[in-house]
């Protein structure tokens, strides 16, 4: 995870993303204000209170794999509802 308080050189981030999936901690507003995808780190959303409109905005993003949550509750919901991962019985 890349800390939000440090700005990394673009070339360094690009080289990192060629090798691993990297997440950068950010707020919901930050995640919605920029494209998510191959050229930028994925979003680790730190908000603890996301309303229905904010959730719907995230759902419309083109890369659901590029979103994770600091909140276990939101991460579990995202995993089941948007990524369609379920525990096997």
H helix intervals, the chain: 10-19, 28-32, 52-59, 72-81
pLDDT value at residue 37 = 62
pLDDT value at residue 1 = 67
CB 89 within 8 A of CB 62: no
From first to last of its 89 residues, the chain has per-residue pLDDT tens of 677 778 888 888 778 777 877 788 999 999 998 876 656 778 999 999 999 999 999 998 867 888 999 999 999 999 999 998 876 55
pLDDT value at residue 87 = 64
CB 2 within 8 A of CB 41: yes
pLDDT value at residue 17 = 72
């Amino acid at each position: 995870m890349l800390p939000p308080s440090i700005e990394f050189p673009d070339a360094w981030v690009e080289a990192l993303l060629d090798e691993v999936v990297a997440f950068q901690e950010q707020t919901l507003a930050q995640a919605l204000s920029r494209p998510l995808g191959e050229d930028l780190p994925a979003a680790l959303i730190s908000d603890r209170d996301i309303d229905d409109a904010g959730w719907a905005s995230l759902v419309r993003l083109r890369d659901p794999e590029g979103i994770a949550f600091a909140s276990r509750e939101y991460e579990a919901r995202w995993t089941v509802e948007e990524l369609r991962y379920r525990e096997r019985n």
